[in-house]
Amino acid sequence: MKYRRKPVVIDAIQWTGDNYAEIFEFTEGNAYPTKPHSDTLFVTTLEGEMRAPKGCYIIRCANGEYCPCEENFFNKIYEPLK
């Protein structure tokens, strides 16, 4: 049997390495750098801390939690709303 992902609209922001203030505001403080001037963030999730290297998208899930998603995977399953 095959399954298809249900259409869902999400909020997300890409970590570019220099938009930490936007990421911090978007995640309500649930993302922070691994060290000063780092290209990697930690994102607080229900499963614990997850790493988000530069280029990852940070997704706000339906239940309000945040999770990182690798850029190539994100681009396979999501497209911008027009």
Residue 37 within a domain:
yes
Residue 31 within a domain:
yes
Helices and strands: H and E segment counts in the chain? 2, 6
Residue 6 within a domain:
no
Q: Choose among 1, 4, 61, 68: nearest CA to 31.
A: 68
Residue 51 within a domain:
no
Query: In this structure, how many other beta carbons lie within 10 angstroms of the beta carbon of residue 23?
Result: 21
pTM of the model: 0.85
10-68 pLDDT tens trace: 999 999 999 999 999 999 999 998 888 889 999 999 889 999 999 999 999 878 899 99
The range of the structural domain enclosing residue 37 comes to 11-44+57-77
Q: What pLDDT score does 8 carry?
A: 81
- Rounded to 5, what percent of the chain is helix, strand, coil? 15, 35, 50
Residue 2 within a domain:
no
With b meaning 16 or more CB within 10 Å and e meaning fewer, what string describes 61-82?
eeeeebbbbeeeebeeebeeee
